[in-house]
Amino acid sequence: METPGDFEKEIRELARGLYRRAAEHKPSLFEPQDWVGRMIDWSLEDEALRAALFRFVDVLPSLDSAAEIGRHLREYFAQVDHALGGLVFLAQALHAGRLVAPVVRHNVVRLARRFIVEEGVETLSPVLTGLRKEPAAFTLDVVGEATVSDREAEAMENRYLNLLKRLAPLAETWPSVAIQSYLRDTEGDLKALLVWAKARQRKIGVRLVKGAYWDSEIAWARQKNWPIPVFAEKSETDANYERLSRLLLEHHDTASAAFGSHNIRSLAHAIVAARHLGIPQNGYEIQTLYGMAEPIRHALIQNGQRVRVYVPVGELLPGMAYLIRRLMENTSNTSFLRQTYAEEIDIETLIAAPAVPESRSARLPRPSSSEAALGPFANEPPLDFSRQENRARFARTLAEVEGKLGRIYPLRIGEQEKETATWTESLNPANPRQIVGRVPLAGKQEAEEAIETAHHFFPRWRATPATERAAILFRAASIMRHKRLELAAWEIFEVGKSWREADADVIEAVDYLEYYGREMLRLAEPRLTQQLPGETNHYLYEPRGVAVVIAPWNFPLAILTGMTSAALVAGNCVIVKPAEQSPVMGAHLLDILRKAGLLAPSCQLLQGGGDLGAYLVRHPAVHLIAFTGSREVGGGDPPRSLHPSAGPIPCQTRGL
């Protein structure tokens, strides 16, 4: 009966044998053939040099002249101090840009072509024929595949089709799915994929890799304040790779497994697991990268493994991102190739079973609800629509909101809800026959009532402690979070935003509420300017009075919330005039503020167009104007002679 110890012993024996064969020669990546190669070798000991080199290689294809090349050499390498003096050549060459530029470009192109093959058949055919003779299969990846339009997608499709036609005698084609083991969700995703394939009685190709964007994944997650999706430690990824390898091989009837790695330990584990499951050597394959791990590839072929080489194809400019990613990946501190061929770490250490550290939370710390109002400001995380559960929740919310379309949203003046003789309909721009809501249009009479109400209430609102005003904003932010999907759905119907953009607008509104609330708490305290006997010298902020907010339609909640909440928390009474195209979003904002405890006379809602805006901004009892948009939207040019005590101070801004 097999024991875990026997299985591990077999893995190590195989790994040692592969290592002995592979250690006879170095991969071309670690065999310096020119000064760029030597600098890569030196950069393994100097992170500053490594960063400067890879940045320069990345930008080089876009540099048109010798002067530009010389300037970038100086900018990237001037601050790098390497003990081996490897940059002396560059420093001397800076004064001879015309001479050094062709040499630099030639060396970088030569480096790149060791890892990226030109797309022409005359260049590809010898490379692919050579791989077949080893023998090794190949997969072609046309670099620069990012597309942002139908035209670009068509062009990329045609590139692949043309390659297939021209290389038909050399290509065998079959579809596969790439699975990345550094993602925490991958095991669940793979199990779901296997269930899907089995239910359809389809055998699918699955290419298991470890993942090439670890740093980027973490940076993206931190930017958005999302849970970190990848394992924090390399050993966790390696352990997950072994679990997924076994899972794939156990479903050999459903999945054709391909193991993409240069890690001899990981590959030995897959080979031994396949052997114990009775899977023949041609029942799965090992995949390596072109130009990166030739000795390991040859050792695997000599061991009787079925090997495929992943060959990037294309021009240098779109291929540089791929090249830099691969160079960084295979020269990193945790790279098996670097540890084997550059650092020559002991073989027993390299082939040991991955040690999994104690589990840690992958989510960044967030303030709890009880301390949200007093903790440091942090941007609200956007919704991750790559997750199916989020897409499903939002689709359900859209259906629910669609059932609420067409309602009436009256004007809000003080405690009153008012209607007028003139109405307008808010229409869905994607479906103009669909009425989102109906609102009455305010005239001069309603404007006068709102201004008078705000003017009379201002002393009371000004006297309200800043802590209470800020607390209203924090409660409004909490309500917005709860209604987040619903508000985003309303935006989609009213102004035609996409799912991501609608959600982004809502969370930006939450950010305004949280940020301005905190800023008011900071600014509310009087500051002592100087101490003189018999005098009290304090610097403090005071509200101005009645503010008019005129908002645009393109950010129907965020900008409206930002300008309104800033004026309110500072102690001003506010009259809100949303854009004509998004009146329903204005009504939703006012409802949220009042549910958060805002007293009605402090913020009032008037719906209308340019005529209403022009009347409000010229009114002598209005002290502050905040708007985003054209002069026409803002009511035209303000009067030339204005005095703070007699009229408004115009302010075109996204927030106060």
Q: How far apart are CA 312 and CA 291, in angstroms?
A: 10
- Predicted local distance difference test score (pLDDT) of residue 2: 60
- Mention the CATH class of domain 4-31+115-350: alpha beta
If residue 427 lies in a helix (H) or strand (E), which one and from where to where? Answer: strand 423-428
Spell out the alpha helix ranges (H) of 134-207.
150-166, 186-199
Q: What is the pLDDT of residues 162-183, one digit of tens each?
A: 888 877 766 585 668 999 999 9
**C-alpha dihedral (259, 262, 266, 270), degrees to nearest 10:** 30
With a cut of 70, say whether residue 41 has pLDDT above it: no
Alpha-carbon distance 168 to 595, whole Å? 68
Element (H or E) spanning 434, and its range?
Answer: strand 431-440
What is the length of the chain? 656
Closest CA to 373 of 559, 522, 588, 572: 522
- pLDDT, position 370: 38
Going from N- to C-terminal start, the domains of the chain cover 4-31+115-350, 388-527+541-627
**C-alpha closest to that of 63 among 79, 74, 47, 48:** 74
pLDDT of residue 364: 40
Residue with tokens 């062709």, as numbered in its chain: 102
- At 337, the pLDDT band (50, 70, 90 cuts) reads confident
**pTM (global) more than 0.85:** no
Tokens coding 17 = 């044998």
Flag whether pLDDT at 635 surpasses 60.
no
Q: How far is CA 607 from the centre of its chain?
A: 37
Alpha helices in 167-226, H assignment, sequence order = 186-199, 214-224
Of 141-155, 329-343, 376-390, where does the model show the most confidence? 376-390
Cα–Cα distances in angstroms (integers) from residue 428 to residues 394, 494, 552, 560, 580, in the given order: 18, 5, 16, 20, 13
Determine what percent of the chain is predicted with pLDDT higher than 90.
Answer: 54
Poorest-confidence range of 303-317, 470-484, 494-508? 303-317
Question: 522: which 2 tokens?
Answer: 């900071």
In contact, 539 and 529? CB cutoff 8 Å: yes
User: Predicted confidence band at 63 (pLDDT cuts at 50, 70, 90)?
Assistant: confident
Q: How far apart are CA 71 and CA 67, in angstroms?
A: 6
The per-residue pLDDT for range 493-535, each reduced to its tens digit, is 999 999 999 999 999 999 999 999 999 999 998 888 888 888 8
pLDDT tier, 650 (very low <50, low <70, confident <90, very high otherwise): very low
What DSSP designation does 226 have? Answer: P
Rounded Cα gap, residues 512 and 519, in angstroms: 10
Nearest to 53 by CA among 23, 30, 80, 83: 80
- What does the mean pLDDT of the chain come to? 85
State the alpha helices, DSSP H only, in 570-609: 583-595
441: left (phi over 0), alpha (psi -120 to 50) or beta: beta
For 567, residues 6+ apart whose C-beta sits below 8 A from its C-beta are 547, 549, 574, 624, 626, 656
pLDDT band at 642, cuts 50/70/90?
A: very low
Backbone angles phi, psi at 454, to 5 degrees: -65, -40
Answer whether residue 394 shows pLDDT above 80.
yes
User: In this predicted structure, what is the pLDDT of residue 359?
Assistant: 55
| Residue 25 reports pLDDT greater than 90 | no
Alpha-carbon gap, residue 460 to 469, rounded angstroms: 12
How far is the CA of 415 from the CAs of 102, 390, 584, 610, in angstroms?
77, 38, 19, 25
| 589 in Cβ contact with 561 (< 8 Å) | yes
Highest mean pLDDT among 107-121, 213-227, 423-437: 423-437
- 93 pLDDT higher than 60: no
180-202: pLDDT as tens digits = 999 999 999 999 999 999 999 98
| pLDDT exceeds cutoff 90 at 408 | yes
pLDDT of residue 80: 65
pLDDT band of residue 103 (cuts 50, 70, 90) is confident
First to last CA, the chain: 75
Cα separation, 410 vs 418, whole angstroms: 6
What topology does CATH give the domain 388-527+541-627? Aldehyde Dehydrogenase; Chain A, domain 1 (3.40.605)
- What average pLDDT does the segment 54-76 reach? 76
pLDDT band at 40 (very low <50, low <70, confident <90, very high): low
pLDDT confidence of residue 79:
65
599 with 520: CB under 8 angstroms? no
Strands 431-440 and 407-408, sheet pairing: parallel
